[in-house]
Structure 1
């Protein structure tokens, strides 16, 4: 419809104001109050938004705290900027939640930023209020910026999504990343956004990276935000059903253990009882069973011994996945 109406020309540099206003209103459900005119900017997907934010605030050799395993899409930027990572391990025995004492020890003199992704890709961790308060306290005490990747905010099965930007003293030191790809299944449309305090966003705008979302895509994004939201609710319940089904099947296999994720739509099972090398496991599973999953080592060193399974296939295909795991495990355990 937007194309037919002629929305095919250059859009406004920061994105159309109606969509930015809708995004500010959407995020207000978490207790924030962004100004659409000066505190919301659109990008052609969340990845350009992430890259721009890292480049805006970090210089080569700066330090960042990151919770590992972490989204593999961060790694190219970390490497490009030669950042000094202080990883905080999300351990399986803690249901992939951080140890606050380890978090405190991760802050170094060169640390400039803390990166959080909640719900987390790949572990499904949903950070609770206590954990976010600890992150806030460290950010305030050490004058750090927090990048809050919230693109899976609609897919929470246990607890609730909280935005650290809504906490006291965090509005001026938090950058929120949002995306339409996961919530509305608009992966190929490439539409994301940054929400941040006016002074913070003004620095992000100085980074000379173009790539505004096409006008008709912005109109589609606005239509998605306006609803109806019933399809998103159906997505969430279907992902929950797939999560419960496949996690149960995997936990029945000797050599495999799978923590039930609190959010997002991935499983991150431990396959070290079959093979400690996640790349070797994935290659073998693909070659012998024709099933493709992603090696945990791609999400940081502590992801080794795990694989990531995206719950984007119907139950019958996930059943086939579980059968493939069992068959492979019986031959290689």
Structure 2
């Protein structure tokens, strides 16, 4: 829950990065951000910091952080002082292990935001406590979706057990599988449902490099597995529809004119630059990590739809879910609150127009 003076969903950003004079095409970004201020943020920050101040982990943390020998005596002295300070703080706090034993959730009460809660969704993998609350939260909201889902993600791969090949790859997050289950459930009940997913044309890196190509293969296998099962559900139901009536992936692109080109006239172009200069088309790199469900709940943060972000044992991720209590979905309609307006703004900015059909995302039109 959030009021306008505490929570702000920042608009889509198309950032034209600084480019060298010899460059012919700008690289644009598309992302979503959130900002949270006041007491609840302070409560969360205190909790997040405390997780790294467990006295049983301080030595390991310092050892890994300062593995490179430091020759400067002043720097060494500063590090020692910092280490002593960390250990002092850690001794005053309860260890993370003891805190885990008390339960799997904790409520942080702020004077002006009593309903703010940060949930610890603890699980165990190979004897270690892990926090997979981001994955659990996304799965929860996909399962409760009634009409549509709109996602933006820098990567989209998972549910490798459903892949046609390479299904032993450790990419087992359930986001794609849960979307399939939801769509197939709607098809079986002869109900409309639509999923829109916006991705970059290729992940970060050189497109033809081996790591990028490997990621693209896994992403293709994820999409292929989803469309295959949707097609099977339509066939078994005798539905003449097409899988893209229910699931669509989009990539954003831009085309620049020569009017404001920053390229130097004497620059010798290579073969790739010549092609780009002729078409002047380039992808808008999608860096967002966002999901909107039924225009009721918006989830924005740092976690991509891939195993690295959702595994719970690798990267530290943060996602914020927001909704308005007076604007909730029903079986036959979506709410028309701020989340609805935010999605419309995203679509209008991406497409360059505002169309009335945007208000009804689950309709075939």
Normalising by the residue count of structure 1, what TM-score does the alignment of the two structures yield?
A: 0.26
Higher strand share: 2
Higher helix share: 1
